[in-house]
């Protein structure tokens, strides 16, 4: 495993170089255009993955997106092994959609009770920073700080809101529209592309960061901190 980690680091450093980052993105874009998710044979895909693909089509970003089917033991691997398996530039490019709940929110309060946060597996959400950021977002309508208490929503609540089970949560094709926050560190990725859930635990979705931001009209916030590349 140490050798795989060393290989992963070497690849990450190489692809972070401007010329190689550009080449990687050109290849990724060509592959996405040649075989977009909605034109591939998807009869075997779970219904939830179909829902994600349909949402990508509706937003006009299916031709810049790629869907990956991963092995059933994928989540038992360290992140660098997951990255190598899908030819992902680095573990930092692997992200997840997590539903955060403000447990102090009340219907008469401004803002939203739930937010879908896109965060890297190498990072964790700093809830204290998120509280300050959301309060600033609420502006003059913000209430006392005690009413801002962000925690990870229960898996049952996340399923009810998104229609996706744990490990497969995607920001596309959700049952209930939830404001999306993209952690700012994702916007600094080189090459500028990232991976996320695709509606089922065994499927992943990748697309350029810019395409995601333009399509989702997400908010961008510096609310995550680095934890571990493994």
Taking only the tens place, the pLDDT of each residue in 66-107 is 999 999 999 999 999 999 999 999 999 999 999 999 999 999
Residue 230 confidence class, pLDDT cut points 50, 70, 90: low
Whole-angstrom Cα distance, residue 206 to residue 83? 12
Residue among 223, 205, 202, 218 at smallest CA distance from 95:
205
* Mean pLDDT across 200-226: 98
Place of tokens 């450093």: 13
Per residue in 141-166, pLDDT (tens digit) is: 889 999 999 999 999 999 999 999 99
Residue 205 confidence class, pLDDT cut points 50, 70, 90: very high
pLDDT at 216 over 60: yes
Cβ burial 90-124 (10 Å sphere, 16+ → b, else e):
bbbbbbbbbbbbbebbeeebebebbbbbbbbbbbe
């Amino acid at each position: 495993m140490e050798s795989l980690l060393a290989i992963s680091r070497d690849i990450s450093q190489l692809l972070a170089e401007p010329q190689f980052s550009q080449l990687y993105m050109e290849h990724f874009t060509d592959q996405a255009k040649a075989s977009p998710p909605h034109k591939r044979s998807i009869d075997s895909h779970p219904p939830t993955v179909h829902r994600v693909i349909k949402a990508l089509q509706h937003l006009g970003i299916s031709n810049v997106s790629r869907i990956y089917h991963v092995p059933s033991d994928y989540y038992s691997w360290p992140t660098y092994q997951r990255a190598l398996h899908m030819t992902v530039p680095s573990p930092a490019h692997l992200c997840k959609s997590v539903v955060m709940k403000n447990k102090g929110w009340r219907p008469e309060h401004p803002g939203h009770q739930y937010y879908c946060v896109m965060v890297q597996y190498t990072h964790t959400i700093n809830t204290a920073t998120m509280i300050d950021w959301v309060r600033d977002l609420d502006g003059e309508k913000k209430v006392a700080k005690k009413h801002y208490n962000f925690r990870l929503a229960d898996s049952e609540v996340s399923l009810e809101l998104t229609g996706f089970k744990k490990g497969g949560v995607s920001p596309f094709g959700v049952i209930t529209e939830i404001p999306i926050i993209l952690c700012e560190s994702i916007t600094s990725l080189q090459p500028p592309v990232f991976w996320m859930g695709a509606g089922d635990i065994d499927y992943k979705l990748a697309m350029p960061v810019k395409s995601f931001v333009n399509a989702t009209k997400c908010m961008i916030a510096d609310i995550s901190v680095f934890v571990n590349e493994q």
